[in-house]
Chain A
Amino acid sequence: MYQIKSYHEATTLDEAVELLADNSNAQIIAGGTDVLIKARERKEGYIDKDLVGIMRIPDIKGVRIDKDGTIFIGATTTFTEVENAPLVRKHLGSLSFAVGTVGGPQVRNTGTIGGNVCNGATSGDSASTLFVFNALVCITGEAGNREVPVEDFYQGPGKVDLAPGEILKGFKIREKDYKGYKGHYIKFSQRRAMDIATLGCSILLMEEAGIIKDLRIAFGVAGPTPIRAVNAEAFAKGKPVSNTVLKEIGVRCLENAKARDSWRASKAFREQLIKSLPKKAIEIALGGEGDV
């Protein structure tokens, strides 16, 4: 039995906003694969809560595309639904792959992409790929709607830019951020399933005749929040896709990383991964084997 003060399930966004308003004890719950585990651990701030369920709100579930090519991924779309959504497979292949590396089938069938990001963990498998697609986070609350870049949404470990009473509606990815790009995500972990990333690396590449037109690289677990390797990205622009360049990109990724020791891996090992995984991810994105 979970120690919950109350549970209410909203069926519209307005109802959810109303349930959250003026209740500092309210806690949003989506798939529950993080919130319930924290409640089970009796973690501070997660017991005796007034839970507000949002899984039956149709507006924030599923994947849609606008006339201008902007793709919207609803916050309560489960990992399995994101992975299999035809729009995601067609335009955001690396995101489909990335969410497929979360936990196991059971967790992917209930856990949501919005929950993954709101949890604020640097290791969240969807995060680094949302970073390279320059995703916009769509938020609603009593004061109305607002949008922030996903990079700014992460404020620290477990801390995101979501004020009490606000709800994450979903993510927008604009056509200019996916059209003509190829990407890949590498989750480096001890097990191939049911594990948390030791390091996650997502790349998005626009390449023409062997020249890097644009490259975006993001890491999970290379710092307290997911990060973009902006120095390496700037270096790569206009360079040929060669062994030397790809190796140098890896070295320059360290300039933006703040890896540290944890029981999962040492700082030195993480830095080795930060240096070597971008090259491998780029090679796989270009259809290769990605040998390091």
Chain B
Amino acid sequence: MSKTIKCIVNKRLYELVVEEGESLLEMLRERLELTGDKQGCGVGECGACSVIVDGSVLDSCIYLAAWVDGKEITTIEGVQDESGSLSDLQRNFVDLGAVQCGFCTPGLVLSATAFLNKNPDPTREEIRRGLSGNLCRCTGYQKVLEAVEKTAEERNLERVSKRG
């Protein structure tokens, strides 16, 4: 049996027919060919499939496609800035060497994007907690933390200079 749903993915409205047993990750990767977000563990432990739904990050591998009816989704393909360049956070991931094999990177960038939207001035400890649902087997996390921290600092400086 299938279901018709309406949702917004990366600012575009879709009307889709999905299977009842289809995961959100399958819908994104196989129906919409948005293959940036990965399937890692498939049981909600590694965070490689993280996407943002209505502002909150979740594991799309353990989330039914039917559940996004009426909701707004952001995948890694939707985080770039308006000109189509890397977002400031993505740029800092690159500059600070927070990417190695890259498999976890889309999930980490989405988690960090949602996290910084909710907590624009975080402590190092809060960043660690905010990213604790994403596993990376290469970087040792240090550079990831630095990239997120630097992004927060830059955004806050910009906010202050705009106000000044």
A interface residues, Cβ below 8 angstroms from B: 1-4, 6-7, 9, 32-33, 36-37, 40-41, 51, 53, 55, 80, 103-107, 109-110, 192-194
Contact = CB atoms under 8 A, between A and B. Distances in A.
Contacts of A194: 45, 132-133, 135
B78 interface: no
Nearest to A103: B133
Interface in B129-162: 129-130, 132-135
Contacts of A106: 44, 47, 50, 57-59, 111, 133
Interface residues of B, number: 32
B22 to A, nearest CB: 6
A204 B116 CA distance: 34
B19 A32 contact: no
A7 B1 CA distance: 9
A40 B42 contact: yes
B151 to A, nearest CB: 17
B134 A104 contact: yes
B67 interface: yes
B44 A105 contact: no
Nearest to B107: A106
B132 A109 contact: no
Contacts of A3: 21
Given A7-B3, A110-B59, A194-B45, A105 B111 contact: yes
A83 to B, nearest CB: 11
Interface in B14-44: 19-23, 26, 42-44
A105 B1 contact: no
B26 A1 contact: yes
Contacts of A80: 56
B119 to A, nearest CB: 11
A1 B19 CA distance: 8
B94 interface: no
A37 B133 contact: no
Contact of A55 (B43, B47, B67): B67
Nearest to A35: B62
Interface in B55-77: 56-59, 62-64, 66-67
B115 interface: yes
A106 B63 CA distance: 11
Contacts of A6: 1, 20
Contacts of B43: 37, 40-41
B62 A193 contact: no
A61 to B, nearest CB: 14
A106 B129 CA distance: 11
12 contacts: A2-B21, A2-B22, A2-B64, A7-B20, A7-B64, A36-B64, A53-B64, A53-B67, A106-B50, A106-B57, A193-B129, A193-B133
Given A2-B22, A7-B64, A106-B50, 13 more contacts: A1-B26, A2-B23, A4-B21, A37-B43, A53-B66, A103-B133, A104-B134, A105-B115, A105-B129, A105-B130, A192-B132, A194-B132, A194-B133
B57 A109 contact: yes
Contacts of B1: 6-7
Contacts of A1: 19, 21-23, 26
A36 B132 CA distance: 21
A4 B144 CA distance: 38
Nearest to B129: A193
A110 B54 CA distance: 12
Contacts of B134: 104
B76 to A, nearest CB: 15
A33 B64 CA distance: 11
A133 B66 CA distance: 36
Contacts of B45: 194
A164 B108 CA distance: 40
Contacts of A105: 57, 111, 114-115, 129-130, 132-133
A267 B19 CA distance: 46
A20 B94 CA distance: 51
**Residue of A1, A2, A6, A106 contacting most chain B CB atoms (<10 Å):** A106
